[in-house]
């Protein structure tokens, strides 16, 4: 049962299933709308334990992982995925308000494939996703390419979201996340 998703990786799922781990509902929604519009199936989690539960059921084709989450930080989940034989190959893109070099290094060392700093444009995020998926599963991206348009209306809706909202839940000052 848990391997069913794996079997569809060759393309049965249109653009691939993406697990979005983001605690801020508005950001989660904006990301999900864009991904669905681009042909992806979206699985949503608001914290690491929800994400763990989802991954036990299905293997996503990619994980978008917020760094600052209530409870364990996203970087811990990235390390968990990489440490588990079943999940070690799932591409991970970290989302974070942290832009300092040291944080980037910690994120990438935890096993993330890429790193997107908030606030980011949905267009940039989709481009990063596509690039990471192309590296990991070329045939999947080719199938997706004709569907990856984002309509002007949605794009402008996302673009008009106040940048401040994208970092409300991210408080670098808490300093909770750089140690293991
Ligand atoms: Ca957050």
Ligand 1: centre distance to CA 97 (Å): 8
What's the pLDDT tens digit per position in 23-69? 999 999 999 999 999 999 999 999 999 999 999 999 999 999 999 99
The residue that leads in pLDDT, 115 or 174, is: 115
Rounded to the nearest angstrom, the distance between the alpha carbon of 110 and the centre of ligand 1 is 18
Tell me the whole-structure pTM to 2 decimals. 0.69
| Ion ligand 1 nearby residues (CB, 5 A) | 23, 66, 68, 169-170
Model confidence at 108: pLDDT above 50:
yes
Mean pLDDT, rounded, for 100-104: 73
CA 86 – ligand 1 centroid, Å: 26
**What was the pLDDT predicted at 13?**
47
Q: How far is the CA of 7 from the centre of ligand 1 (A)?
A: 32
Report how far ligand 1's centroid is from the alpha carbon of 146 (Å): 31
CATH topology of domain 18-134: Rossmann fold (3.40.50)
Give the 3-state secondary structure of the chain: CCCHHHHCCCCCCCCCEEEEECCCHHHHHHHHHHHHHCCCEEEEECCHHHHHHHHHHCCCCEEEEECCCCCCCHHHHHHHHHHCCCCCCCCEEEEECCCCHHHHHHHHHCCCCEEEECCCCHHHHHHHHHHHHHHHCHHHHHHHHHHCCCCHHHHHHHHCCCHHHHHCCCCHHHCCCCCC
Interval between CA 66 and ligand 1 midpoint (Å): 6
Higher model confidence: residue 132 or residue 159?
A: 132
């Amino acid at each position: 049962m848990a391997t069913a998703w794996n079997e569809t990786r060759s393309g049965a799922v249109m653009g691939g299933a993406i697990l979005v781990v983001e605690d801020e509902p508005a950001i989660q929604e904006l990301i999900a709308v864009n991904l669905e519009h681009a042909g992806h199936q979206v699985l949503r989690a608001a914290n690491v334990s929800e994400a763990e539960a989802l991954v036990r059921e299905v293997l996503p084709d990619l994980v978008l992982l917020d760094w600052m989450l209530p409870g364990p930080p996203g970087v811990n989940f990235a390390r968990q995925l990489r440490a588990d034989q079943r999940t070690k190959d799932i591409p991970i893109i970290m989302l974070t308000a942290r832009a300092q070099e040291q944080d980037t290094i910690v994120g990438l060392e935890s096993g993330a494939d890429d790193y997107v700093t908030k606030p980011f444009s949905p267009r940039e995020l989709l481009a990063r996703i596509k690039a990471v998926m192309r590296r990991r599963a070329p045939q999947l991206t080719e199938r997706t390419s004709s569907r990856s348009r984002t309509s002007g209306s949605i794009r402008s809706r996302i673009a008009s979201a106040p940048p401040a909202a994208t970092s409300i839940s991210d408080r670098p000052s808490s300093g909770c996340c750089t140690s293991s």
